[in-house]
Amino acid sequence: MSIVDIAEEQVKKNHARQVDAIELEIGALAGVEPDAFDFAWPSAVKGTVLDHAQKEIRHIPGRALCHECDCEFVLHEAFDSCPACGSYFYNILQGKELRVKSLVLS
C-alpha cells in the first residue's frame, strides 16, 4: 500500500490525474513473494491513481561480500553462507530493495 501512497503523492504534487506506467525494483531479499505481489496488485490499486497503470518490475538478485575471504557472491536467502569459505559474516550489497524507480503521469 505504500506504493499506492507514493504514487498518489506524486500525482497530487505534479497536478496530474493518474499514473500511466510504474517501474518497480524488488530485491530477492526484500521479503516480497512475486506471485503473491502479482495476485494482490489488482485489488490494491483498484480505484486509485494506479488503477490503469502498466506495471513493470525489475527483479534485483541478492549479492553479498564475505568479511572472512572477501568473496562476492550471489545470495539466494538472507541466511546463506559464503560459498567460498562457509562464513555467515558478510555485508549484503544488494537485494533488499523495494522501491518505485519511475512513474509516468498524465
CB 70 within 8 A of CB 40: no
Quote the pTM value: 0.85
Name the pLDDT band for 36 (thresholds 50, 70, 90).
very high
Mean predicted lDDT score pLDDT of the chain: 96
pLDDT greater than 80 at residue 1: no
Q: Using one digit for the tens of pLDDT, what is the confidence trace for 57-103?
A: 999 999 999 999 999 999 999 899 999 999 999 999 999 999 999 99
Phi, psi of 73 (to 5 degrees): -145, 160
Q: What is the DSSP letter of 81?
A: P
> Domain 2-105 maps to which CATH number in 2.60.120.260, 3.40.30.10, 2.20.25.10, 3.30.2320.80?
3.30.2320.80
- Percentage of the chain lying above the pLDDT 70 cut: 100
